[in-house]
Amino acid sequence: MSQKTTIPKGTRDFGPMEMAKRNYIFNTIKDVYALYGFQQIETPSMETLQTLMGKYGEEGDKLLFKVLNSGDYLSKIPDSELLDRNSLRLAAKLCEKGLRYDLTVPFARYVVMHHDELQFPFKRYQIQPVWRADRPQKGRYREFYQCDADVVGSNSLMNEIELMQIIDTVFTKFGIRVQIKINNRKILSGIAEVIGEDDKLVDITVAIDKLDKIGLDEVNNELRGVGLSEDAIRKLQPFITLSGTNEEKLAVVGNALAGSETGQKGVEETAFILQTLEKIGLRNEIQFDLTLARGLNYYTGAIFEVKALDTPMGSITGGGRYDNLTGIFGMPGLSGVGISFGADRIYDVLNALDLYPKDTISPTKVLFINFGERETMYCLPGVAECRKAGIRAEIYPDAVKMKKQMSYANAKHIPFVALAGENEMQDGKITLKNMETGEQQLLRLGDLATVLAD
């Protein structure tokens, strides 16, 4: 019995229809990035583990896909270590490379390596796949695309404001109603300070970031599990359950963090971003959310997350400010801020809400029916004229039954078919049929491209 052909869990094939939809997503995002002056780069799928490890926190490190060294990678490993079966120690010796976990850390490495070639502030975008050894589930894949935009070499909060405008513009173009959530890691640091748990900042942010998924009671249990005192957990509750308008929440947090210089700085930054965006006017709602923590360790300032309002899905965009990332690679003092669109989740949202434009899923606009060699030779100049005019056109290659050719057009969602039989050829005409309405027009062959272009 032959083995069943399959693909790794958490990955997907994409056929022509799916690729048309994905390219619509990528091209829309690319166009908006270009409007704001961002330039495209690419980095390798693999990075050294030295580049990747320690940048995503303990949980992130566990989700890195490691790549075995080439050749006889076991030759230098003593039998005693193999028998010890310590997977972490063995992986460190057997693997020097890993698949990238995101695009931000490779970008930071790129900036350090190419620093002398770049003009700062450097605004780049990058659309490539990333890999995470996570448990596959709805909306969560092991291989997926990210569409990142980052600005490095500038501390200005105008960069955060511009990125929020990009998010708003992209989802408006897609027709997806979203809620943009914003917080600041300095505020979270201030909260950890005032509840007396400065050294537990990472544990606190990892726990409260799960509030939507596991609920308040489980978050509190997780905080107890990492050693937070009952007094600290009690002091944390008003922050986690804070409600009201953005202005009201900021005022409460500002008062509560009066004794924290770091916390006050975070409040000031968040207030400036929100007030400026209010003056500019966004089409989508932006909400100050203290439970937003973004579990990645490298964020140091503003953090963002976007959720679709009309279909259940996790975060479909996220990002934030990172002041220290390039310092890890030997270049301190270079601040950056960025966002990442989750293309695969956006794909699922657009599918769920049926928001793809018709021309996105109809790669061909007109199919010329093949009645035989003479008819095909007659139609070929019309096919050429359509393509010359930028109209996607094809001619069926075989003179098979018309029913089969019409089924082909329907299956590919081709909106028009063009037919030329003996009568049309005698008169220099062609019949154009609208596949949706059934309406037919008799046109001069030379006018076909003009009619289809309207």
Domain that holds residue 121: 9-135+143-174
Q: Residue 366 half-sphere exposure, CB side, CA atoms within 13 Å?
A: 27
C-alpha span between 308 and 58 (Å, rounded): 29
Query: Under DSSP, is residue 195 helix (H, G, I), strand (E, B) or coil?
Result: coil
Q: Residue 89's pLDDT is what?
A: 67
Query: Tell me, what DSSP letter sits at residue 4?
Result: P
Say if residue 195 is exposed, middle or buried (CB neighbours under 10 Å; 0-12, 13-18, 19+).
buried
Structural tokens at position 325:
């990332």
Residue 149 belongs to some domain of the structure = yes
Residue 339 belongs to some domain of the structure = no
C-alpha span between 198 and 355 (Å, rounded): 46
Residue 169 belongs to some domain of the structure = yes
Angle of helix 343-353 relative to helix 16-35, nearest 10 degrees? 110
Structural tokens at position 105:
């850390």
Compute and round to an integer the Cα radius of gyration of the chain.
Answer: 28
Q: Which residue type sits at 368?
A: F
Residue 201 belongs to some domain of the structure = no
C-alpha span between 397 and 400 (Å, rounded): 9
Residue 13 belongs to some domain of the structure = yes
Domains: count for the chain: 2
| 383 and 206 Cβ atoms separated by less than 8 Å | no
Query: Under DSSP, is residue 303 helix (H, G, I), strand (E, B) or coil?
Result: strand
Q: Residues 6 or more apart from 68 whose CB is under 8 A from it?
A: 94, 95
Q: Residue 139's pLDDT is what?
A: 67
Give residue for tokens 């596959």. Answer: 136
Q: Residue 59's pLDDT is what?
A: 81
Kindly report the CATH number assigned to the domain that includes residue 43: 3.30.930.10
Q: Residue 95's pLDDT is what?
A: 82
C-alpha span between 366 and 416 (Å, rounded): 5
Long-range contacts at 11-17 (CB < 8 A, ≥ 24 apart): 11/141, 11/142, 11/143, 12/141, 12/143, 16/363, 17/361
| 175 and 299 Cβ atoms separated by less than 8 Å | no
Angle of helix 158-174 relative to helix 261-280, nearest 10 degrees? 50
Q: Residue 39's pLDDT is what?
A: 97
Work out the angle at residue 152's Cα, subtended by the Cα atoms of residues 150 and 157, and round it to the nearest 5 degrees: 85
Averages of pLDDT over runs of 10 residues in the chain (454 residues) are 85 90 96 97 96 84 87 71 68 83 92 94 96 85 93 96 98 97 94 87 82 85 88 87 92 93 96 96 95 76 95 90 82 90 91 88 90 96 96 96 96 94 95 96 95 90
Residue 278 belongs to some domain of the structure = no
Residue 294 belongs to some domain of the structure = no
Kindly report the CATH number assigned to the domain that includes residue 415: 3.40.50.800
For 285, phi then psi, to 5°, come to -70, 140
Query: Tell me, what DSSP letter sits at residue 245?
Result: -
Q: Residue 70's pLDDT is what?
A: 77
C-alpha span between 23 and 83 (Å, rounded): 49
Length of the chain: 454
C-alpha span between 46 and 55 (Å, rounded): 15
Q: What pTM did the predictor assign?
A: 0.84
* Residue closest to 424 by CA, chosen among 440, 406, 402: 440
- Decide the pairing of beta strands 416-419 and 393-395: unpaired
Structural tokens at position 389:
């005019």
Structural tokens at position 363:
């790669």
